[in-house]
């Protein structure tokens, strides 16, 4: 009996300070000091929860809340178990109560956002994840949830904010690349080109960046810039699809002689390319 009592005490303490089932730590506010009766029921609820008796745990947590109506740890425990039982609307009520007495707790805010998502209250969930992302832009989970919810909400305004915010806050060039691609796909080609050119200067061997920049040049009718860059790429990478793209650009610019000259040079470097022989023969006609 002695050992069981101390095990219950220990488990309750763990839940109060760190949450259960591996959740993040719950910061204890001043009002999270348990009175004796509330602690007794809270400890019982902790033991029930440890043994996966969530309905029994809830009864004890509700009893604990009747003796302490300002304790965020109790309200959080109720909300967590209502979530496990998929009673999401009640869980949301108790997440709000927990936040009333511990309003800056990130763990509770995350859990509230999950409940809102389950209830399909996507705008409210997004607002929370957006605020969390603004505080921790490098957090992959917040990025993922914001992007998913933006897709559900179909908000072009928030989608633009998302890409511009990450590109402005994080040094990783992948976010700049994402923003440039977003600009290009939404007809902001000049803005996309500006970013691609900067990225190209930093990493001229990056084929994805180079080809994206060529697409910008081609879209804007800057055929000479597109041709120059694509010729440079083909001198380093043998690729029949890129060769066809280059021939198309030559055709647009009525640069037949330049086309023949490049194909002859390309064949010297790639003498086994039958398709290139055919293309060159067609160019002579």
User: How confident is the model over 125-162, as pLDDT tens digits?
Assistant: 999 999 999 999 999 999 999 999 999 999 999 999 99
In the block, tokens 């509230």 appear at 112
Specify the higher pLDDT residue, 285 or 22.
285
Q: Tell me the per-residue pLDDT of 203-225, one tens digit each, with 9 for 90 and over.
A: 999 999 999 999 999 999 999 99
| pLDDT digit string, tens, across residues 114-130 | 999 999 999 999 999 99
**How far is residue 271's CA from residue 253's CA, in Å, rounded to a whole number?**
27
Buried b (16+ CB within 10 A) or exposed e, 139-165: eeebbebbbebbeeeeeeebbbebbeb
Counting other chains too, the contacts that 272-281 makes at CB distance below 8 Å and 24 or more residues apart are 273/238, 273/240, 275/240, 275/243, 276/240, 276/243, 279/243, 279/247
Q: Determine if residue 87 is left, alpha or beta; phi over 0 gives left, psi from -120 to 50 gives alpha, anything else beta.
A: beta
Could you count the other beta carbons within 10 Å of the beta carbon of residue 80? 25
Q: Mean of the pLDDT values across residues 58-82? A: 96
In eight-state DSSP terms, residue 30 is G
Q: Provide the pLDDT confidence category of residue 19 given band limits of 50, 70 and 90.
A: very low
Closest by Cα among 110, 134, 122, 33 to 74: 33
Mean pLDDT for 70-81 is: 96
d(CA 2, CA 25): 28
Give the pLDDT confidence score for residue 7 in this predicted structure.
47
Question: Are the C-beta atoms of residues 60 and 74 closer than 8 Å to each other?
Answer: no
Q: Are the C-beta atoms of 183 and 198 separated by less than 8 Å? A: no
Instruction: Round the average pLDDT of the chain to a whole number and report it.
Output: 86
Give this prediction's pTM.
Answer: 0.80
């Amino acid at each position: 009996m002695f050992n069981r009592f101390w095990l219950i005490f220990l488990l309750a303490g763990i839940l109060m300070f760190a949450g259960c089932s591996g959740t993040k730590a719950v910061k204890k506010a001043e009002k999270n000091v348990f009175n004796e009766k509330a602690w007794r029921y809270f400890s019982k609820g902790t033991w029930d929860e440890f043994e996966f008796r969530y309905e029994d745990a809830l009864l004890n947590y509700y009893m604990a809340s009747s003796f302490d109506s300002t304790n965020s740890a109790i309200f959080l425990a109720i909300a967590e178990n209502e979530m496990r039982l998929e009673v999401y609307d009640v869980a949301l009520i108790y997440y709000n109560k927990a936040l009333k007495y511990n309003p800056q707790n990130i763990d509770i805010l995350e859990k509230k956002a999950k409940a809102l998502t389950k209830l399909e209250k996507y705008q409210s969930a997004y607002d929370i994840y957006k605020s969390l992302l603004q505080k921790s832009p490098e957090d992959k989970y917040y990025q993922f949830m914001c992007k998913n919810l933006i897709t559900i909400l179909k908000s072009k305004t928030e989608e633009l904010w998302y890409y511009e915010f990450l590109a402005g806050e994080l040094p990783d060039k992948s976010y700049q690349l994402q923003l440039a691609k977003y600009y290009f796909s939404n007809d902001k080609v000049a803005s996309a080109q500006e970013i691609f050119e900067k990225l190209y200067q930093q990493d001229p061997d990056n084929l994805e960046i180079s080809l994206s920049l060529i697409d910008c040049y081609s879209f804007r009718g800057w055929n000479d810039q597109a041709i120059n860059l694509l010729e440079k790429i083909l001198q380093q990478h043998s690729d029949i699809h890129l060769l066809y793209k280059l021939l198309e650009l030559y055709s647009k610019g009525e640069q037949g002689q330049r086309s023949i000259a490049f194909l002859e040079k390309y064949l010297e470097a790639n003498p086994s390319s039958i398709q290139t022989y055919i293309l060159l023969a067609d160019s002579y006609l």
